[in-house]
Amino acid sequence: MRRWIVALGLLVEFVVPSHAQETDSAADRGRRAMTETGFLKPAWSDAAFLRAGSLWKEGAPDPEEDRADYTRAFTHRYGLHPAPFENDGLPMGLKRGVLADGTKRGIQIDCLVCHGGSIGGTSYVGLGNTQLNLKALLNELTLADRRALPPSTFVLNSSRGTVNAGMVAAVLLSVRNTDLSFRYFPLPMGTNLPEMDVPPWWHMARKATMYYDGRTDARSVRSSMQFLLGEKTLEQFKDLEPTFRDILAYFKSLKPPPYPFAVDRARAERGRVVFKENCARCHGTYGPDGVYPNKIVELDVIGTDPARAHGLGLPLVKHYNATWFGEDYPVNEKMTGYQAPPLDGIWATAPYLHNGSVPTLAALLDSSQRPTRFKRPPSTGFEHYDTVNVGWKHEVVPEGPLPSSTTPFEASFIFDSSRFGLGNQGHTFGDALSDEERAAVIEYLKTL
């Protein structure tokens, strides 16, 4: 009898809570909070969204005549992606603003403007946005609202896809005192960060430390809330912390999409062996018993562009650590280099390295193949995907001035590795491999 009860108990445990989890787990609450909630007041009027098209030299569909067509054009223009959830008709990354009484008015950007991407026509929450032109989006919404542009004190993005999220956070924090009250004169932060590629959120399940330099404990809920520093008070941050704890649980539940094309299994198996010998000590092992070593590699060993690692100033770190943000998990004051990231879903996150300076895995593993300047694809559709080199098909742009016929819109697709922080050097661990070994490793990487 007892056995039966135990067996029944196990059965009930197996059936019921897994269903209950589906409807009300922390991850599920986090998903709803991330996709259904607007956290910020409106920054622009609803009309700004509809008027932005009137600023495009190339012309825009008439939003009054065909709203869907206009929204599609807007989405493509600024490098956004359709929302894979109900979003009041807005592309992913924009949200209706929320007033103090909870009513929705106007529009705002949210985390997904950078952390929402698409590949092969499917949008994913948590896939870094490699098409985004954030500067054009913010400026043109502001101009469409007939307001003057605020002065810019740093390069937000010199082209599409990379974005200077670090400087946004640094500037927002510089106008807060230690108790997070607002101050008029910014504190000196000694910080000069470059633009970066946006990491996928599905890495968070594996990481013990986060961000490219691995100086923040990945259990820090508060660090993910920095983006709200534009308006929230300390009390509001405290009230929102449980919500962001759920959001962190949601990040940890995310899985990368599987590689959608054919894989040569025999070659991938040969690649696994090469990977184990040459790469696993930093990037770990994969599959059910996979172990991620969470290794932060010294700058002189990794050799990639040092600007991000050096750019985070000690005054900023100390100030952050003195506020509520750094109270539970302070940022490590010591800079080492860059964290070797997990490679799960690596096929979907080209271009590579923390600054997105290398368009394909083939070029990452053979540093002689890296273009100084390249043109990103016009979309993340599979017609632009390169299954041999793995990553984006790209046009190499010769050095020297661009042809005078190049419009600013076209120029926005050009990635220039000679700019500050965007260097494509370093990580030469694939150079010594033979062509066949490299091809085998690439085949193996498709399976992660």
Which residues would be at the binding site for ligand HEC (CB under 6 A)? 111, 113-115, 134, 163, 165-166, 168, 196, 198-199, 203-204, 207, 210-212, 224, 227, 247, 251, 275, 278-279, 281-283, 297, 301-302, 304, 338, 340-341, 343, 346, 349, 352-354, 361, 364-365, 427, 429-430, 441
> 160 in helix, strand or coil?
coil
Q: Are 378 and 355 in contact (CB under 8 A)?
A: no
Q: Which residues pair with 360 in a beta bridge?
A: 391
Q: Which is nearer to ligand HEC, 25 or 294 (by Cβ)?
A: 294
CB of 28 to ligand HEC, least distance (A): 17
DSSP string of 362-396, one letter each residue: HHHH-GGG--SEEEPPSS-SGGGEETTTTEE--EE
The residues, ordered by sequence, that sit 6+ positions from 326 with a Cβ below 8 Å of its Cβ are 222, 320
CB of 32 to ligand HEC, least distance (A): 14
Q: Is 251 exposed, middle or buried (0-12, 13-18, 19+ CB in 10 A)?
A: buried
C-alpha distances out from residue 60 to 44, 65, 81, 113, 230, Å: 20, 11, 17, 21, 31
Q: Give the burial string for 337-375 (b: 16+ CB within 10 Å, else e).
A: bbbbbbbbbbbbbbbbbbbbbbbbbbbbbbbeebbebbb
Q: Which is nearer to ligand HEC, 92 or 364 (by Cβ)?
A: 364
CB of 318 to ligand HEC, least distance (A): 18
Q: Which is nearer to ligand HEC, 50 or 316 (by Cβ)?
A: 316
- Return the ∠ at Cα 138 (arms to 50 and 349), rounded to 5°: 105
> 107 in helix, strand or coil?
strand
CB of 143 to ligand HEC, least distance (A): 20
- In whole angstroms, what is the distance from residue 5 CA to residue 210 CA? 45
CB of 60 to ligand HEC, least distance (A): 24
Q: Which is nearer to ligand HEC, 128 or 377 (by Cβ)?
A: 128
- In whole angstroms, what is the distance from residue 405 CA to residue 315 CA? 45
**What does the DSSP 8-state code read for residue 360?**
B
CB of 188 to ligand HEC, least distance (A): 20
CB of 182 to ligand HEC, least distance (A): 19
CB of 4 to ligand HEC, least distance (A): 46
- In whole angstroms, what is the distance from residue 159 CA to residue 411 CA? 8
